[in-house]
Amino acid sequence: MTLTITGLSKFYGSFQALKEVDLEIGDDEFVCLLGPSGCGKTTLLRVVAGLEGYQSGTLRFGDRDLSTIGAQDRGFGIVFQSYSLFPHLTVRQNVGYGLKIRKTAPAEIARQVEHLLKTVHLEDYADRYPWQLSGGQQQRVAIARALAVEPSLLLLDEPLSALDARVRAELRGEIRDMQRRLRVPTIMVTHDQEEALTMADRVVCMNAGRIEQIGSPEEIYSRPATRFVADFVGSSTLLTAEQAARLGVEGAAAAGSRLFALRPEDVTIRLDEQGPGRIRNVTFLGNVNRVKVGIEGLELLAETGRLPGLVEGAAAAVEILPGAGVWVQP
Ligand code: ATP
């Protein structure tokens, strides 16, 4: 079923947290809401969940208007950042809780819980209490609990942000595989661009209560539509048309107020005593060096592998790869 959000606005008092949001989420899509702290992504998720109201616009799931349906009756599964498990219930009881409330027969509950615990790799932990589990394990239980009631839509609110980097990476893959297998449409809130780019079918990039751009991870990264997206997702050098013209970038004359966004990997440098560029700063990132290079009174971000003599002050030839960069709205 399709979730359709149209012209949705939400106020907290006089503060507008969501501004005319339009978004459609298809049958078995995994969509990430990505944006900086305070941009409204959690608010949007909570509105979809039915935990917050809204002032204008429409919210439909399939042919149902959700405005008159309470959170309990929407049939959605929700996982929060803090695991929010019932502390006095075991893993098995936590996962089976929703089914028990629905008066499912005990044998059926046992069967489904066992299946779900296998899915999240916790079959050996069924009789433990939440405090006897690691953060990653608790979040697996929370996911299993949300899935137990066979939700028609799964809502994940920064489910991985409290976990350490290794567990986070592991769970990313697991959640994505599980979602594909179960084919449940999913919305995940994150402020982590890598998480959004690696997990989502489509990324919804939000800023100050508005959607800036919706696209596949590839589109969002390679063809950002606005300055905000070019800047928030990955790193970019942003140049005015006049500055881009100085570097011989095509299309600068017709660019108007648009900005030219250039990824560091689009700019190559070669150490050359006769070169017009000057290395301003080098940051070692392990597999590559991120370099700030001055040229034509501008400063560009560039990327390079190991180069002997790559130090501040060195002279360099600078090349922008042909066809690289995009013009974005200011
Ligand atoms: P974060 O990543 O920090 O959670 P977010 O993008 O999820 O950020 P929201 O929690 O949706 O942001 O908040 C959006 C804006 O609405 C923020 O400016 C926040 O201060 C405001 N806000 C959220 N909840 C309330 C509330 N109950 N009352 C008043 N303002 C609120």
Q: Are residues 124 and 177 in the same domain?
A: yes
Q: Are residues 264 and 284 in the same domain?
A: yes
Q: Are residues 159 and 303 in the same domain?
A: no
CA distances from 252 to 45, 160, 224, 305 (A): 40, 42, 17, 30
* Residue 37 CA, ligand 1 centroid: distance in Å: 8
Q: Are residues 164 and 210 in the same domain?
A: yes
Average pLDDT score over the chain: 93
DSSP state of 160: T
Across 48-77, average pLDDT: 94
Please indicate, yes or no, if residue 41 is contained in any of the structural domains. yes
Please indicate, yes or no, if residue 204 is contained in any of the structural domains. yes
Please indicate, yes or no, if residue 173 is contained in any of the structural domains. yes
Across 197-226, average pLDDT: 97
- Report the pocket of ligand 1 as residue ranges, CB < 6 Å: 12, 15, 17, 35, 37-43, 191
pLDDT score at 212: 97
Q: Are residues 77 and 191 in the same domain?
A: yes
Please indicate, yes or no, if residue 53 is contained in any of the structural domains. yes
Please report the atom of ligand 1 found closest to the CA of residue 43: 11
In 3D, which of 246, 244, 207, 247 has the Cα closest to residue 227? Answer: 207
Q: Are residues 103 and 194 in the same domain?
A: yes
Q: Are residues 218 and 304 in the same domain?
A: no
Across 287-308, average pLDDT: 94
Tell which of 170, 198, 224 closes a domain: 224
pLDDT band of 161, cuts 50, 70, 90: confident
DSSP state of 38: T
Tell which of 190, 224, 258 closes a domain: 224
pLDDT score at 287: 87
Q: Is 248 helix (H, G, I), strand (E, B) or coil?
A: coil
* Residue 210 CA, ligand 1 centroid: distance in Å: 13
Across 84-108, average pLDDT: 93
Q: Are residues 218 and 315 in the same domain?
A: no
pTM of the entire structure?
A: 0.90
Residues 41, 100: Cα–Cα separation, whole Å: 32
* Residue 15 CA, ligand 1 centroid: distance in Å: 10
CATH for 278 = 2.40.50.140
CA distances from 303 to 193, 201, 244 (A): 20, 28, 19
CATH for 93 = 3.40.50.300
Expressed as residue numbers, the domain containing 280 is: 235-328
Residue 194 token pair = 């890598």
For 25-56, what is each residue's pLDDT tens digit?
998 999 999 999 999 999 999 999 999 999 99
* Residue 96 CA, ligand 1 centroid: distance in Å: 32
In which residue are the tokens 């140049």 written?
239
Please indicate, yes or no, if residue 169 is contained in any of the structural domains. yes
Q: Is 191 helix (H, G, I), strand (E, B) or coil?
A: coil
Residue 320 token pair = 């922008």
Lowest mean pLDDT segment, chosen from 8-12, 57-61, 152-156, 166-170: 166-170
Helix H or strand E encompassing 98: helix 91-101
Please indicate, yes or no, if residue 175 is contained in any of the structural domains. yes
Tell which of 160, 193, 224 closes a domain: 224
Lowest mean pLDDT segment, chosen from 38-42, 170-174, 314-318: 170-174
Q: Measuring from atom 28 of ligand 1, which residue has the nearest CA?
A: 12
* Residue 43 CA, ligand 1 centroid: distance in Å: 6
Q: Are residues 77 and 152 in the same domain?
A: yes
pLDDT score at 167: 83
Residues 139, 162: Cα–Cα separation, whole Å: 9
E strand map for the chain: 3-12, 15-25, 30-34, 56-61, 64-65, 76-79, 153-157, 186-190, 202-207, 210-215, 237-239, 259-262, 267-271, 277-284, 289-295, 298-304, 315-320, 326-328
Residue 217 token pair = 């991870």
Among residues of the chain, what percentage have pLDDT more than 90? Answer: 80
pLDDT score at 130: 94
Q: Are residues 126 and 265 in the same domain?
A: no
Q: What are phi and psi of 145, to 5 degrees?
A: -65, -40
Q: Are residues 92 and 16 in the same domain?
A: yes
Residues 62, 223: Cα–Cα separation, whole Å: 31
For 78-88, what is each residue's pLDDT tens digit?
998 876 899 99
Question: How many domains does the chain fold into?
Answer: 2
Q: Measuring from atom 31 of ligand 1, which residue has the nearest CA?
A: 12
Residues 40, 34: Cα–Cα separation, whole Å: 10
Please indicate, yes or no, if residue 229 is contained in any of the structural domains. no
Neighbours of 326 (CB within 10 A): 17
The tally of CA atoms less than 13 A away on the side-chain side of residue 77 is 26
Residues 176, 159: Cα–Cα separation, whole Å: 13
Q: Are residues 53 and 122 in the same domain?
A: yes
Q: Ligand 1, residues 8, 32, 43, 228: which to mutate, most atoms within 8 A of Cβ?
A: 43
pLDDT score at 83: 67
Radius of gyration of the chain (CA): 24
Please indicate, yes or no, if residue 230 is contained in any of the structural domains. no
Q: Are 51 and 14 a contacting pair, CB within 8 Å?
A: no
Which has more confidence, 72 or 14? 14
